[in-house]
Chain A
Amino acid sequence: MSVSRPSSTDRSEPSPAPVVISTRRTPLSARGEPAVWLLGLALCLCVTLVVALMSVIVREGLRTFWPRPIELVTLVGGEKLLGVPMQDESFDAADGEADAIESRRGASGLTEGAFGDDGRPTRRLYRVGNRDVGQEPFRWVTLANVVSIERPAAAVMLERQEWGVWIGVPRSIYRQEHIKVPASAGELQAAGVIDTESGSRGVERTLLGTESDGTRVVRQRTGLMGAPKDGVSFPSREAWALLDSLHEEATDRAARIKAIEKDDIGAINHDMESWRLRVRKAEMERDRAAADAGGTLGGALALPAWIGGLTVVLALAGLVVVLSRRTDHRTSLMRMVRPALLVVAGLVAAWCVLESPWSHRRVTDADVEIVKAQADAALGELQASYDKALGRIDELRTLDEQFRVEVVDARGRFAPVRQTAPDEPLMLSQIVRVVRPNDLNFAGKLGVYFSRWAEFLGGDPRDTNTAGGVFPVLFGTVSLTLLLSLLVVPMGVVAALYLREYAKQGLVTSVVRIAVNNLAGVPSIVYGVFGLGFFCYTMGQYIDQGPAAPALRFDWWLTLGGGALATIVAVCVAIMAKPMPGTPVRGVHRVMAFVAGACWLLAAGLGAAAVFRTPYFHGFFAERAPNPVFGTRGLLWASITLALMTLPVVIVATEEAIASVPRSMREGSYGCGASKWQTIRRIVLPGAMPGIMTGMILAMARGAGEVAPLMLVGAVKLAPDLPISASAPFVHLERSFMHLGFHIYDLGFQSPDSEAARPLVWTTTLLLIAVVATLNVAAIWLRGSLRSRMKTGVF
């Protein structure tokens, strides 16, 4: 029996319709295969780009610190140079040079790879360092012109405190002292040999001058291994050991000097400064007291007015007590009477406290004299300990200057102690690290690699940021990002909560939402300009110096009273503007809501005016004028500026998260008798927390990578003082800071030796990416744990 279709009754044919087997095929476009390929291709392209970018950064960033060999290159003309090969490239020689290069083609002893596969000549970039003897630190060498390339085992690369690296071969280490030889000592011997416990040492003496009594000042150099000149035979185990041990001592001494300078002398300076400020503050208070013309009301009226104010306060307080006995307030408006009375009473009480005839203790000349005497005594003591600390530093420095090392380059010049003294060799303490790559096995290279990483991550930058560490930079970046997320999340969440939960959805909220979304598109430099103008110069200066133009006291109290009145009116009208639940909204309600809003605006304006023109605040750091404390670029203002910049992200994310909390949850909560605030706090906010965290992650990612506004509001080239210190108040948010993004810009484009700093740009970029990724991963992990706590086993 054939397959029968469901037949309807109006069909009367007895024979079933023939079974039709469709031969149509769904076209490719309908099945969407090409679209899948296209989408996959697009995704592949994106992934490839990201992977390529990341792999370049990781590769370049990781190999910066690997010690590369030093090559001794002999050129055709006999010229020699010592350098570290950086990269090879094919090039088209200039006309004058081309024939010379061409003539070398096929010559015997030609360096391998002198001509590329395409027949073009190859040149190699050598890092030759030695900038302070007037040499370009990088040099292109045409390989065709090279006679021989060797890797001398004795070659070293000195990483120095200043002037970049020095590449050369160490020749001798000696101790240089200035001694006085009395006239009676006889003829001065220019050179000689003395015997010590560890063998004979060469000595070299140079007469520097003769004093009036015939005493001769002599510079004596004693070889620490062999003679002062050509004394040490590198490379040998003993020679390296001697160099290393002496270098270690020198580094210790340098560290001790630095510690004394930073801790002891720093503390002394800080104490001296604070005594000076104390004196200045006392003087300023005295001057202010002298200039003060008395209370709000004239001198004769002061006492009666004050007594009157006190009476008003007492009367109002009594009224409040009486009212609080009666609990049968019929309307919510009646319930507002007590708080309103309390506000008024508080205002009058504040006036009574601030303007009481006894409230100002006048600072007199005698007070200032006492402070001055104290300061003089303290300063004397501090000066003594300052001199003592300087003495200790001098002692160490003198010792430091004795140990010298001669490291000569291919042309026989040794590294000078400073650019202006080419005949004085380098002090050991000026060297940060001695790297001898040609004489190191893999483990030794690994040691250098990690010691460089340790310095990079934990040390301060040196040599105008082109070398050394980035610890302050790292610290500044992380603290900025954390501070910004601490600021932006509460601000954004509060704003979004009001906008979504409390505000009446209408024209105003739409306008606010559009404005917030537009803020996300404002170029970040604009925020920088705003932050500098408003936070640094306006708010900061207010904190430092107090209001620039304080109001007269009478006017100020009038402003404050007006503000309080406006607040009370606003609250009362707002309560009246709310229709009873169950009754329709009428026009009068809308008018009252508008009036309440206007009163709120007025109150806010008057309040702001009162704060910014108060005659009772003279700044926290007035005595430091004209030096700004908060009134300039700093970590706090940078964080607030970035928080403002990333606020829209958090607001939008939070609003969406709040909206996604299901209505049934809220109704359940209300049904249990929870108030709106309890519902928000216990149901809505926990439910929205993952979304809020998403907003925070986005804000952090954007804030951490931002550079442009930071250049205006806080990031600087060098700020070795961290925003956290061991001295009170421990957290210094007013300090300017360093930032990885800005540091990359500085390294790449602002440094005196940008070619040398280029590898560091890669490493710093890698570090910045790692920091942002770490912060994000931490936040994502936090969000994940929140989510899993909220929802388990839903399915």
Chain B
Amino acid sequence: MVSPVESNSVPSGRVMIRPMAQDRGSIPARVTMPASGGDGGATPQVRYPIIDAIRRGEAVESRTHESVKLEDHVLQIRQFCLWYGAAQALHSIDMPVARGRVTALIGPSGCGKSTLLRSVNRLNDLIDGVHVKGEMILNGRPVYAHDVDVIDLRKRMGMVFQKPNPFPMSIYENVVYPLRIDGENRRSVLDAACERSLKAAAIWDEVKDRLSQSALGLSGGQQQRLCIARAIVADPEVLLLDEPCSALDPVATLRIEDLIHEISERYTVLIVTHNMQQAARVSDYTAFMYLGRLVEYGSTADIFQRPTLEETEDYVSGRFG
């Protein structure tokens, strides 16, 4: 298997448009400036050459660990760029995603991790003015090509959003929605699928007596697990989780994390999170992104304990970002 990141041809020479995200980014002054001498004098003056380069809009080479390259890849992202109108949000992302593992995308707000996730099932197509360059290959079939049936492509993936978004229908209808729109109306099949995926989402015991009641009556955590059940009912090739716990309380968050653990035995999971502890707890691989670029990508243990870059180490330990 050829790993795309080995190619040295980092796109350069191109005048990069300043990403909008930069204005929003909350990067402490001391990233680029020598730390003021007042407090915490023990910290040596640090400069982050890669971060600086990214902030100047220069192309950088992302560090992808060998451990990632050795895996079997369900999704290949190659040289992927994305523009919202004139503003570029993703810059030449090269990133293979390992099959049957949990891969976490971390990075400060506005770094493009959600955009990358939503590019995988082409949800960004719905936004006016988005255009892309580069390649994504899901199980050997391209995601961005002329003859791709987008509807079918999305059916091959499940997605869970930041805010629980159950439909205003019964719990049962919520879960079987992906099957219904596929034209499946046999009651026995739907019943079986509903039970299976509710059990897989660890919510079966709580809702099995009220399947015909509105899903909007559930608590936030239950709603999010219901959304996970909905996302996995059609046996997706990849499960995309977009900060699934950001709207939940700590207890519900823990339950969802346990759930992700269980689900990862069967599905490939790509999860966006801004919570470093969560990434460390649930994921096998972690990718650190900054301002639309992939900075470092490797196994979670490596990223959190032995990162090759100073920037990554400081980010995961909370010293910047």
A667 contacts across to B, CB distance below 8 A = 123, 126, 161, 165
Interface flag for A669 (CB, 8 Å): yes
Known: A581-B125, A682-B181, A794-B217. A673 touches B165 (CB 8 A): no
Whether the Cβ atoms of B168 and A330 lie closer than 8 Å is no
Which A residue's beta carbon lies closest to that of B150? A581
Interface flag for B154 (CB, 8 Å): yes
Complex CA gap A330/B181 in Å reads: 26
One of A331, A668, A687 near B165 (C-beta < 8 A):
A668
Q: Which of B30-38, B63-71, B226-234 has 4 or more CB atoms under 8 Å from chain A?
A: B226-234
A-B contact pairs, 8 of them (CB 8 A): A669-B167, A671-B123, A671-B154, A671-B158, A790-B214, A792-B213, A793-B213, A794-B217
Interface flag for A660 (CB, 8 Å): no
Interface flag for A235 (CB, 8 Å): no
Whether the Cβ atoms of A793 and B216 lie closer than 8 Å is yes
Complex CA gap A664/B247 in Å reads: 14
Interface flag for A745 (CB, 8 Å): no
Interface residues of B (CB under 8 A from A): 83, 121-123, 125-126, 129-132, 144, 146-147, 150-152, 154-159, 161, 163, 165-168, 177-178, 180-182, 213-214, 216-217, 227, 230-231, 234, 240
One of B83, B157, B216, B227 near A791 (C-beta < 8 A):
B216
Which A residue's beta carbon lies closest to that of B178? A672
Complex CA gap A792/B181 in Å reads: 24
Whether the Cβ atoms of B168 and A672 lie closer than 8 Å is no
Which A-B residue pairs are the 7 nearest by beta carbons? A673-B155, A793-B217, A671-B159, A582-B132, A664-B165, A581-B125, A673-B154
Known: A331-B147, A581-B150, A582-B144. A794 touches B181 (CB 8 A): no
Whether the Cβ atoms of B168 and A687 lie closer than 8 Å is yes
B155 contacts across to A, CB distance below 8 A = 672-673
B150 contacts across to A, CB distance below 8 A = 581
List 4 additional A-B contacts (Cβ < 8 Å) besides A582-B132, A674-B151, A791-B168. A664-B163, A673-B181, A790-B214, A791-B216
One of B125, B158, B168, B230 near A686 (C-beta < 8 A):
B168
Interface residues of A (CB under 8 A from B): 330-331, 580-585, 662, 664-675, 678, 682-683, 686-687, 790-794
A672 contacts across to B, CB distance below 8 A = 154-155, 158-159, 177-178, 181, 230-231, 234
Whether the Cβ atoms of A673 and B152 lie closer than 8 Å is yes
Which B residue's beta carbon lies closest to that of A794? B216
B83 contacts across to A, CB distance below 8 A = 584
Nearest Cβ distance between residue B209 and chain A, in whole angstroms?
15
Nearest Cβ distance between residue B127 and chain A, in whole angstroms?
10
B129 contacts across to A, CB distance below 8 A = 584-585
Complex CA gap A585/B214 in Å reads: 42
Nearest Cβ distance between residue A791 and chain B, in whole angstroms?
6
A792 contacts across to B, CB distance below 8 A = 213-214, 216-217
One of B125, B130, B146, B181 near A674 (C-beta < 8 A):
B181
Nearest Cβ distance between residue B59 and chain A, in whole angstroms?
21
Whether the Cβ atoms of A584 and B131 lie closer than 8 Å is yes
Which B residue's beta carbon lies closest to that of A788? B214
One of B123, B125, B161, B214 near A793 (C-beta < 8 A):
B214
B177 contacts across to A, CB distance below 8 A = 669, 672, 674, 682
Complex CA gap A790/B158 in Å reads: 24
Complex CA gap A664/B129 in Å reads: 20
Which A residue's beta carbon lies closest to that of B131? A584
One of A581, A584, A668, A790 near B227 (C-beta < 8 A):
A668
Complex CA gap A580/B147 in Å reads: 10
Nearest Cβ distance between residue A495 and chain B, in whole angstroms?
22
Most buried by B among A330, A673, A792: A673
Complex CA gap A668/B151 in Å reads: 13
Most buried by B among A580, A662, A672: A672
Complex CA gap A334/B217 in Å reads: 48
Whether the Cβ atoms of A665 and B125 lie closer than 8 Å is no
Whether the Cβ atoms of A668 and B161 lie closer than 8 Å is yes
Whether the Cβ atoms of B123 and A583 lie closer than 8 Å is no
Whether the Cβ atoms of B123 and A670 lie closer than 8 Å is yes
A581 contacts across to B, CB distance below 8 A = 122, 125, 130, 144, 150
Nearest Cβ distance between residue B107 and chain A, in whole angstroms?
22
A674 contacts across to B, CB distance below 8 A = 151, 177-178, 181
Complex CA gap A340/B252 in Å reads: 56
A582 contacts across to B, CB distance below 8 A = 122, 125, 130-132, 144
Which A residue's beta carbon lies closest to that of B156? A673
Complex CA gap A678/B83 in Å reads: 28
Whether the Cβ atoms of B147 and A330 lie closer than 8 Å is yes
Whether the Cβ atoms of B131 and A671 lie closer than 8 Å is no
Nearest Cβ distance between residue A589 and chain B, in whole angstroms?
12
Which A residue's beta carbon lies closest to that of B148? A581
Whether the Cβ atoms of B144 and A668 lie closer than 8 Å is no
Which B residue's beta carbon lies closest to that of A580? B146
Complex CA gap A794/B154 in Å reads: 29
Whether the Cβ atoms of B125 and A673 lie closer than 8 Å is no
Complex CA gap A582/B181 in Å reads: 25
Complex CA gap A582/B150 in Å reads: 12
Nearest Cβ distance between residue A47 and chain B, in whole angstroms?
35
B214 contacts across to A, CB distance below 8 A = 790-793
Complex CA gap A332/B144 in Å reads: 15
Complex CA gap A665/B227 in Å reads: 11
Nearest Cβ distance between residue A673 and chain B, in whole angstroms?
3
One of B147, B167, B182 near A683 (C-beta < 8 A):
B167
Nearest Cβ distance between residue B318 and chain A, in whole angstroms?
29
Complex CA gap A671/B125 in Å reads: 12
Complex CA gap A289/B252 in Å reads: 83
Complex CA gap A672/B178 in Å reads: 5
Most buried by A among B121, B129, B131, B144: B131
Complex CA gap A673/B235 in Å reads: 12
Complex CA gap A687/B132 in Å reads: 33
A664 contacts across to B, CB distance below 8 A = 161, 163, 165
Complex CA gap A354/B229 in Å reads: 58
Complex CA gap A793/B215 in Å reads: 9
Which B residue's beta carbon lies closest to that of A328? B147
Whether the Cβ atoms of B165 and A665 lie closer than 8 Å is yes
Which B residue's beta carbon lies closest to that of A793? B217
Complex CA gap A687/B147 in Å reads: 33
Complex CA gap A682/B182 in Å reads: 13
Complex CA gap A584/B144 in Å reads: 14
Complex CA gap A790/B155 in Å reads: 26
B234 contacts across to A, CB distance below 8 A = 672-673
Complex CA gap A682/B181 in Å reads: 9
